[in-house]
A and B are shown apart, each in its own frame.
Chain A
Amino acid sequence: MSKDMYTAALKNTLTEIKKICPDIKYSFIFTKDGAIISGDGETNNALTKKTVESFQSLAEKAGVIGGLDALFINGENGKLHISRVNDMYLVVTTSPDADIAYLRSITNVIVPTVLKLLENIAPTPLKFMPSQQLVVDTLTGLFTGDNVQIDDVHLKEWSQHLDGKDVNEVEVETISGKKVQCGVKKITDPKRQGKGMILIPEKTCRTLEVKKGDLVKVKSIAA
């Protein structure tokens, strides 16, 4: 089963849950590494990204209570519930009057069942690569080639997710949503190492319509 099918299956699950519980406004699933797996189609990237960042900063401090299993926020205009399902987290936001106990009873049965089913269909767990936000710098010169360059630490992290396989290709996505797939190497210029940069050849910068200092999202496409 491909990653796309896996994602589609979870997206359909969230959509069906929303039909059962019309109080749900947004729902999506992310891994403990922060990779967004699937959403109900109405949650945009900015919302999911901000939520995951806030959740992860909380998770870092939650060791003292035995990790982070669930988070519930009761707000004046709505509720947010994040619960752990296996190695993933399910995020649901609802109207203020939603019955969270009922919602939990639905999600805690359906989502794990679907995940279990997917696990049986695709016994090799799919790897969802955590993406990195990096600052653009341009690669100039005659011998720059077509590869982008990023810090070795990111390549090693992705490689770990791929059981030690080398990462040779990445997807670069701009804030406006433009994407390219290209080869990747580690940054060779010591002055530009360890600064959270991605060095992009000028030609690719023009394709992406990015310039020095812009933020882009980078992830391995080897998954």
Chain B
Amino acid sequence: METFEVKGKNKPEQEIKNLHVNLEDIKAKDGIIGYILRDPKSASVDIKDPSKIIDYAVLSSTVLDSGTHMTETFELGKIDHIVVEGGDVKVLSLAIDDHRVSVFMNKKVDHNAVYKDLHLK
């Protein structure tokens, strides 16, 4: 599996802008349901079905919290990314500095490709 460097703190503003651009590109692809991007002060939410925004937001937050607990339990070190698969949908979650990203997609979408696209620019 390919690995991608996630740079340390003080990520330049440009890179965060790139993240927004990458998310917009990803969102336009087949099978992508939407994304949630949060930082300590704000959140960008773009989910195709608005009635599910709250449920997706709660899940997004829980994925990273539960993932952190499990990672600490097994001393897995810093989380690179988490994938949660449901019956119909899967979620790719990762933290980039103080930004938390969750991309929701149909189960057949290649999440490794989405992960790669998140770090392209």
- On A, residues with C-beta under 8 Å from B are 25-26, 47, 50-51, 53-55, 57-58, 61-80, 93, 100
Residue numbers in A under 8 Å from B71 (CB-CB): 73, 75, 80
Whether, in the assembled complex, B89 has its beta carbon less than 8 Å from a beta carbon of chain A, the answer is yes
Residue numbers in A under 8 Å from B83 (CB-CB): 70-72
Whether, in the assembled complex, B21 has its beta carbon less than 8 Å from a beta carbon of chain A, the answer is no
Residue numbers in A under 8 Å from B62 (CB-CB): 57-58, 61
* A55-B86 CB under 8 A given contacts A64-B59, A74-B81, A80-B71: no
Proximity string of chain B (52-74) to chain A, C-beta cutoff 8 Å, 1 when within and 0 when not:
10011011001101110111011
In this complex, the member of B67, B69, B73 whose beta carbon has the largest number of chain A beta carbons within 10 angstroms is: B73
How would you classify the secondary structure of chain A's contact residues: helix, strand, loop or mixed? mixed
- Verify B74–A64 contact, CB threshold 8 A: no
Known: A75-B79, A76-B77, A80-B70. 10 other contacts (CB 8 A): A47-B73, A65-B59, A65-B90, A68-B85, A70-B85, A71-B83, A74-B82, A76-B78, A78-B76, A80-B71
| Interchain CA distance A57-B84 in the complex, whole Å | 13
CB distance from B100 to the nearest CB of A (A): 15
- On B, residues with C-beta under 8 Å from A are 1, 52, 55-56, 58-59, 62-63, 65-67, 69-71, 73-91, 104
* A65-B66 CB under 8 A given contacts A54-B73, A93-B74: no
| Interchain CA distance A53-B73 in the complex, whole Å | 11
Contact among B69, B80, B84, B90 with A54 in the assembled complex (CB-CB below 8 Å): B69
- Verify A73–B73 contact, CB threshold 8 A: no
- Verify A54–B66 contact, CB threshold 8 A: yes
Residue numbers in A under 8 Å from B85 (CB-CB): 65, 68-72
